[in-house]
Amino acid sequence: MGKGPGLYSDIGKKARDLLYKDYQADHKFTVTTYTSNGVAITSTGTKKGELLLADVNTQLKNKNITTDVKFDSRSNLFTTVTIDEPAPGLKTIFSFVVPDQKSGKVELQYRHEYAGISTGIGLTAKPLVSFSGVIGNDSVSVGTDLSFDTASGNFIKLNAGLNITHSDLIASMTLNDKGDTLTASYYHIVSPLTNTAVGAELTHSFSSNENTLTIGTQHALDPLTTVKARMNNYGRASALIQHEWRPKSLFTISGEVDTRAIEKSAKVGLALALKP
């Protein structure tokens, strides 16, 4: 991401990636190949218990236009066309799913040195309209994320967020679920040389008066191997190790155990991604 506050989805992203990215309890296998004319074909298989899910994604890039077409094992066809910078700072995204006739959507993203805006509208008679905007700079930014259902005349999403960035520390706070959920998180770089970082996320629900605290850390054992660990206040502990055994090809093994019910079997997930 370049200079500026980014988009609303960037608020708290570093902490979320540290605490949740690459953790899984399933077995996932991904292979990417390239044709002679530059088309990327990615095949993915995921085993969830006894259920096997698969999809094939084809990506074609032509100048500033990227077309993604994905077909999954449930006979859904996902198509996304992205036009990058038809004007400075602007990105246009058009997407739809077959056979869902109400899935068509157009989204516009605009990034500026002091603002980041994303608007979307569904391609139906009574569409879902979304808007998110962030204003600020590299250090401090505030934003909002809204979705309005024109069919019912109600807001289905009404969120707000604050992000503060220092040289080695990122703190954020978001108010979600129409004001019912407050989430605060932080991400701290301990050592850039070893990619060592710590992070935490605290979520409070006003309606249930429940708190969820998750803390985690990551560390690079060497330039190709990273370990991560996390734990929450409900006693669930997770860890993973990820190794880049060749450029862009990753092997990840992760596990989770409930420390309050140690007699139960631990969950183990495997992920293998192969790229030429």
Q: Is the pLDDT of residue 84 over 60?
A: yes
Domain that holds residue 22: 8-274
Average pLDDT over residues 230-238: 96
CATH classification at residue 84: 2.40.160.10
Domain presence at residue 1:
no
Tokens 């038809």 belong to 86
Q: What is the pLDDT of residue 30?
A: 96
Domain presence at residue 148:
yes
Mean pLDDT of the residues in the chain = 94
Using alpha carbons, list the distances in angstroms from residue 258 to 24, 217, 227.
15, 18, 20
What is the percent of the chain with per-residue pLDDT over 70, rounded to a whole number? 99
- The pLDDT confidence band at residue 1, using thresholds 50, 70 and 90, is very low
- The pLDDT confidence band at residue 29, using thresholds 50, 70 and 90, is very high
Q: Is the pLDDT of residue 2 over 60?
A: no
Q: Is the pLDDT of residue 243 over 90?
A: yes
Domain presence at residue 3:
no
Domain presence at residue 21:
yes
More confident residue, 30 or 263: 30
Q: Is the pLDDT of residue 38 over 90?
A: no
Contact present, 130 and 117 (Cβ < 8 Å): no
Q: What is the pLDDT of residue 262?
A: 79
Q: What is the pLDDT of residue 158?
A: 96
Q: Is the pLDDT of residue 22 over 60?
A: yes
Summarised one tens digit per residue, pLDDT across range 43-62 is 999 998 889 999 999 999 99
Average pLDDT over residues 248-270: 91
- The pLDDT confidence band at residue 216, using thresholds 50, 70 and 90, is very high
Summarised one tens digit per residue, pLDDT across range 149-201 is 999 999 999 999 999 999 899 999 999 999 999 999 999 999 999 999 999 99
Domain presence at residue 53:
yes
Q: What is the pLDDT of residue 161?
A: 97
Sequence-ordered list of residues with C-beta below 8 angstroms from that of 218, at least 6 positions apart, any chain: 18, 195, 196, 197, 226, 227, 228, 229
- Burial class of residue 271 (count of CB atoms within 10 Å of its CB; 0-12, 13-18, 19+): buried
What is the percent of the chain with per-residue pLDDT over 90, rounded to a whole number? 86
Q: What is the count of structural domains for the chain?
A: 1
Please work out, in degrees rounded to the nearest 5, the angle formed at the alpha carbon of residue 144 by the alpha carbons of 142 and 147: 170
